[in-house]
Structure 1
């Protein structure tokens, strides 16, 4: 691929995304714009959260803090969400970090995109933005998140749906108070 061909493709992509409209880009429909913007913002937050969590646990391991030093451990808590980060070489550790960060970013972005798209779609369909829209969107988002986890059971899916609906509804109801 020549440099001029690459530049032409880049310009074509930038003109399609159109960064000048106040948001990240314009995909031609407000629903698509909202989903994409929510996905990108939350995916970035997810990546930062995954890297910072792993850095924290790496630092704690390096200092030798554990229950023998007087710092109590939380029973049943996972020290590392991504145990494969313990590679034999720096390259293996870096590859595992990139893979795990990408997975976490995708999960956060999925949650934000699904929730944002559903609340917008329900508002447009029903003509109202109320706690019912939030409850449905939260429940479906909870199910989507549960399905991205490893070894998901039926009970976990139901729990995530109920939790998503409850948190979303509470946030909607409390948003008018604060």
Structure 2
């Protein structure tokens, strides 16, 4: 009996943390794909839960205009499809979830690939690698928004660089 036949589902999930789901022949590709898949799943869960929340609020008759937006995201409501079938509502939610999953996966894949590539190229992993990877990831995310402006692209680059640099500098402190 081979090792694959005797492994349980729990063993498979434990190997996920060790990078066991993907083997594309190169550590860079493995890291990009694994980061993309993990983050895309998180993005999908976040999009579905946010849409379900706003749908429940709208259905209850509460005024959601006063509520702060979650995570800086735009409120995605289904007000444009009132009176239509549930199929249209489901299609709108799937489209929104797919877009958000792609954005989260893109951010994680680009960032992870860049930090790995910069570490290999420079021979060191420091805040400079994190800043560069964060800035490029911020630009990539800005370009996925509807009608990105020059100011929005620059702001996202600066924000991405600042957040990833701070995270790198604070690693090990907490």
Q: Same fold per TM (> 0.5)? A: yes
Match of 2:136 among 112, 115, 140: 140
What root-mean-square deviation, in Å, do the aligned CA atoms of Structure 1 and Structure 2 show? 2.4
Q: How many residues align structurally?
A: 155
Closer, same or farther: CA 138–33 of 1 in aligned 2, 3 Å: same
Match of 2:59 among 40, 47, 62: 62
TM-score by length of 2: 0.82
Closer, same or farther: CA 40–85 of 1 in aligned 2, 3 Å: farther
More off after superposition, 101-110 vs 77-86: 77-86
Rounded Cα–Cα distance in structure 2 between residues aligned with 1:117 and 1:60: 39
Match of 1:96 among 71, 92, 113: 92
Superposed counterparts of 1:77-96, under 5 Å: 80-81=75-76, 83=78, 86=81, 88-96=84-92
* Structure ID, larger Rg: 1
Match of 2:40 among 40, 43, 59: 43
Unmatched runs of 5 consecutive residues or more in structure 2: 1-15
Match of residue 32 from structure 1:
29
TM-score by length of 1: 0.80
Unmatched runs of 5 consecutive residues or more in structure 1: 1-18
Deviation of the 1:151 alpha carbon: 1.3
Match of residue 170 from structure 1:
166
